[in-house]
Amino acid sequence: MYPYLFVYGPYSDDFVPYLANSFKWIDAYTLEITLKPDAYWWDGKPITAEDVKWSFDVNKLCPLSGSYIWNYLTEVEVVNPTTVRFHLNKSNINYYRITDVLTWMIMPKHRWEALYKEIGCKIGTDFADTEFDKIVGGGPYRAVYWEGDTWVYQRVED
């Protein structure tokens, strides 16, 4: 339901573009990612660099499983709607961990920021996202329901 910037291809040993078109190193401490301009959330809003930034910033605001990434970053900068830059923590360089940003799950800021304002950091512990009609995703399949460990998805045609 939530797209990744890239998907790691183990057979090609490469990062395959998914939500993003490309990445490049601007310098030894700055990684730039360019998003696909025709990517949209299910509600029709474009997926932008602001969504990417939010998907990292929420891990700075709340103690979540992805919060570790801020040991290696100092800033996630929105350059324009389709370009985001990751500024590395020069005092704690770990290029192996920084590659995690390439396969990060991107969340729609317009939905998750509102949830954060409503329930704070409980979005990472108490929020179950079980109202499927309210989920705003960006992947090719929408969750219809789940029961136990079984999920049922429906193809998103557009």
Predicted confidence at residue 17, as pLDDT, reads 97
pTM above 0.75, yes or no: yes
Is 39's pLDDT higher than 90? yes
**DSSP line for 58-70:** HHHHS--TTGGGG
Q: Can you name the residues that pair with 27 across neighbouring β-strands?
A: 30
Tens-place pLDDT, residues 62-94: 999 999 999 999 999 999 999 999 999 999 999
Predicted confidence at residue 50, as pLDDT, reads 98
Predicted confidence at residue 128, as pLDDT, reads 83
